[in-house]
Amino acid sequence: MNANIRQHAGFVAIVVGLCILSWLAWPRSRSATAAKPVQAAAPAAVRPAPAAETPPPAPAPQTAAPSQTDLDEAVRSAAGANAAERPETPEACDLDADVRSAAQASPRSPADEVNPPTMADERPTSAPAPEPEEQPSPAPTGTATPAPTSPAGAAANTGADLIWPKFVPMEKGPALEKLNQGLALVFKSDGSLDSDKAPKFVEARRAISAAYNAGSLGETDLARARTALTALGEATIFSRWVYEGDDLVMKYKFESGDLLEGTRKQVGLIRKLSLRVPAQVILTSNHVPSGKDFRAGEVYKIIRGPFHAIITKKAFTMDLYLQDTFVKQYKVAVGAPETPTPEGYFHVVLNGKMTAAPYNPPPNRSTKGKTLHPGDADYPLDAEGHNIRIEGVPAKGTNISAEEGFAVHGTKDPSSIGKSVSLGCVRLSPTDIKEVYGMLYEKWSTVQIKP
């Protein structure tokens, strides 16, 4: 009996041992076969969804393209066109086109949106860009006092690289014919711009400008041309519209990170595109408060400079040109007979523009030795202290350095405009100096002063 029990127990022990061994071997086999489905399923788990299944990100807000009514209003504002007229001007402005590839060569693009566009990613920086054409001016010493020179060795000191307005002489007969042809293209009999003829604005501006620059028209016809060009300038240059074939302006689509003016780390668009105009005139034409208000993805109008000034002392006038095109005339004051304004060829000094400019009176004044600032009782400039220093261009035969202190600046005495009363500088009214300051560009804007 005991022997049978022992024999049976041994058999059971063998069976149990075999079961244990089989059980221990089973997990490895199960694991090896179970991994395959997991591996096969893994790609499906991480495969990106097809594009059609993923909703696209919400587009950035778009400013509405200018309506035809907006163009009418801009044109009527400049030239008094009838409020009921609505031109058909499909060529005027295509704000949806991506024209970045042509930005370097083609004209600019304005657009009269109801809500002004804003610029993306123009972040304020701790210091302005050290770019020779864009950095802010150091404080000048004021009117009729020595001022710092341009940086040593700058090409602007000789003026050999400056671009001057080009005027093509023309006999009076052909010039008068061009003037009348240009006027007939876009002006009504009452002298107002015909908004229905907006597609012809640029063609008319070119014809009238050629006549104005011919040097053969009489004063009556010159006055007609000035009035027409001023109205056309408001409609084609200083509005937010861009017209087909206009080489004075261009369209530009801002991208994320674009800056109008440069920083220490990034070149601004003004320099990158060789625009040679201050930021202010671009902001004004686009109705944008500041450079931080441009929006990425939006198309804006860009003006291609430089602007130039031609001052005629005997007429007390300053004619302002964009490249070779007359845009506006201002009345000025010039130097008194004992302190005459010098004549010749000048340009705006690099770093020579400043607001809130300090003023150091000349030695013969009661305020001798006292530097005056805006707000001081005897401060002679306009309330904001606009000052644009100029220096002669040796390459054109004018050897007058910046140290001699000549400038174009505002005045607190508008009654002096139209007179020979200054210490040699050119004065503009507070309103006019603000406009001119926003258009003349350091180094590249030239100033010719004629008798």
Report if residue 12 sits inside a domain: no
Checking if the pLDDT of 110 tops 60, the result is no
Checking if the pLDDT of 185 tops 70, the result is yes
Looking at residue 142, what is its pLDDT? 38
Looking at residue 370, what is its pLDDT? 85
> How many domains does the chain divide into?
1
Residue range(s) defining the domain that contains residue 340: 307-450
Q: Which of 46-60, 76-90, 223-237, 286-300 has the lowest mean pLDDT?
A: 46-60
Q: Which of 31-40, 119-128, 225-234 has the lowest mean pLDDT?
A: 119-128
Question: Per-residue confidence at 28, pLDDT binned at 50, 70, 90?
Answer: very low
Looking at residue 25, what is its pLDDT? 52
Report if residue 130 sits inside a domain: no
pLDDT (mean) for 2-24: 58
Looking at residue 361, what is its pLDDT? 81
Checking if the pLDDT of 38 tops 70, the result is no
Checking if the pLDDT of 403 tops 80, the result is yes
| Per-residue H/E/C for 200-261 | HHHHHHHHHHHHHCCCCCCHHHHHHHHHHHHHHHHHHCCCCCCCCCCCCEEEEECCCCCCCC
Report if residue 361 sits inside a domain: yes
Report if residue 394 sits inside a domain: yes
Report if residue 412 sits inside a domain: yes
Report if residue 416 sits inside a domain: yes
Question: Per-residue confidence at 159, pLDDT binned at 50, 70, 90?
Answer: confident
User: Alpha carbon of 212 to those of 205, 228, 264, 331, 440: distances in Å?
Assistant: 10, 10, 43, 18, 21
Q: What sign does the dihedral 88-89-93-96 (CA atoms) show?
A: positive
Checking if the pLDDT of 22 tops 80, the result is no
Q: Mean of the per-residue pLDDT values for the chain?
A: 76
Q: Does the model's pTM come out above 0.85? A: no
Task: Answer with the residue of higher pLDDT: 88 or 321.
Answer: 321
pLDDT (mean) for 436-445: 97
Looking at residue 4, what is its pLDDT? 55
Report if residue 377 sits inside a domain: yes
pLDDT (mean) for 217-238: 97
Q: Which of 49-58, 152-161, 207-216, 271-280 has the lowest mean pLDDT?
A: 49-58
Q: Which two tokens stand for residue 57?
A: 């990100």
Question: Per-residue confidence at 158, pLDDT binned at 50, 70, 90?
Answer: confident
Q: Which residues of 436-446 are buried (b: 16+ CB within 10 A; e: fewer)?
A: bbbbbbbbbbb
- CA-to-CA distance for 173 and 214, rounded, in angstroms? 11
Q: Which of 19-23, 156-160, 259-263, 362-366 has the lowest mean pLDDT?
A: 19-23
| Per-residue H/E/C for the chain | CHHHHHHHHHHHHHHHHHHHHHHHHHHHHHHHHHHHHHHHHHHHHHCCCCHHHCCCCCCCCCCCCCCHHHHHHHHHHHHCCCCCCCCCCCCCCCCCCCCHHHCCCCCECCCCCCCCCCCCCCCCCCCECCCCCCCCCCCCCCCCCCCCCCCCCCHHHCCCCCCCCCCCCCCHHHHHHHHHHHHHHHECCCCCECHHHHHHHHHHHHHHHHHHCCCCCCHHHHHHHHHHHHHHHHHHCCCCCCCCCCCCEEEEECCCCCCCCCECCCCCHHHHCCCCCCHHHHHHHHCCCCHHHCCCCCEEEEECCCEEEEEEHHHCEEEEEECCEEEEEEECEEECCCCCCCCEEEEEEEEEEECCCCECCCCCCCCCCCCECCCCCCCCCCCCCCEEEEEECHHHCCCCCHHHCCEEEECCCHHHCCCEEECCCEEECHHHHHHHHCCCCCCCCEEEEEC
Report if residue 139 sits inside a domain: no
- Residue 402 sits in a domain whose CATH number is 2.40.440.10
CB 266 within 8 A of CB 248: no
Looking at residue 322, what is its pLDDT? 98
Checking if the pLDDT of 10 tops 60, the result is yes
